[in-house]
Amino acid sequence: MQQTRPFPPTELIDQAEEEEAIRLAPAPDLKNWVVANFLTIGGTLHNPDHDHIAELLHDNDEFLAFAWASSAAVAKKRMVLGQCEKIMFNQGGWKKARQEQQMRDWFGFVPTYLITIDASYCENTNDRNFCALLDHELYHIGVERDEEGEMLYSDMTGLPKHYLAGHDVEEFFGVVKRWGANESVKRLVEITKNAPFVPDVDISKCCGTCMI
Ligand SMILES: [Zn+2]
């Protein structure tokens, strides 16, 4: 198992600074590390909420790919440090061909989902923030469930029914201040009353720069 937290290639950030533009690069080592630690039973940070991703990847390794971005993107006036996309090129023609070619040149295939992570953030942040960011992006690959919470499987493929999931909680501080918490915010408050589930020691076991 790969135990050391993956770091982005330094030349990516250097080259981006030189060009004064954002550069992107495939991150196969990041994928291997996420699979080993988050998506494998017995992995140090294994999260059963992502078991459907593990199952889909087991069936088809082209289900998910990772990329580094040299710096954060800004969307709706917020810094974007990570992004999970379902690769659906809804335009056609050369635009679609060009984007698919980019994926094939990078990965050798066109993935179903692509997770892009801000390399300059990851280079400077601590292990806990790094792991939380990756867990966050993985949660964007949702699975449909029945009322009992059991995973739903597609009749066509026999595999979990996945979709691009939105956040559980999205509310403005001002609205909560003025009007109180809605059900999802109340649930969040309940969850924050408990200590975090993943102890620091587990994180240092698999990402720790302190372990080198
Ligand atoms: Zn998100």
| Distance from Cα 92 to the centre of ligand 1, integer Å | 27
Task: Give the pLDDT of residue 4.
Answer: 81
| Distance from Cα 167 to the centre of ligand 1, integer Å | 6
| Distance from Cα 212 to the centre of ligand 1, integer Å | 30
- Domain tally, the chain: 1
Task: Give the pLDDT of residue 79.
Answer: 82
Range from 4-13, 26-35, 154-163 carrying the lowest mean pLDDT? 4-13
Examine residue 25 and state whether it is found in any structural domain, yes or no: yes
Domain that holds residue 104: 10-211
| Distance from Cα 113 to the centre of ligand 1, integer Å | 14
Query: What are 141-171's pLDDT values in tens digits?
Result: 999 999 999 999 999 999 999 999 998 888 8
Task: Give the pLDDT of residue 211.
Answer: 45
Question: What is the pLDDT confidence band of residue 212, given thresholds at 50, 70 and 90?
Answer: very low
Please say whether the beta carbons of 67 and 24 come within 8 A.
yes
The angle formed by the CA atoms of residues 189, 82 and 103, to the nearest 5 degrees, is 145
- Determine the Cα–Cα distance for residues 121 and 123; give it in Å rounded to an integer: 5
Examine residue 180 and state whether it is found in any structural domain, yes or no: yes
Examine residue 3 and state whether it is found in any structural domain, yes or no: no
- Determine the Cα–Cα distance for residues 150 and 131; give it in Å rounded to an integer: 26
Query: What are 101-120's pLDDT values in tens digits?
Result: 999 999 999 999 999 999 99
Examine residue 35 and state whether it is found in any structural domain, yes or no: yes
| Distance from Cα 95 to the centre of ligand 1, integer Å | 26
Examine residue 92 and state whether it is found in any structural domain, yes or no: yes
Task: Give the pLDDT of residue 92.
Answer: 83
| Distance from Cα 81 to the centre of ligand 1, integer Å | 9
Examine residue 170 and state whether it is found in any structural domain, yes or no: yes
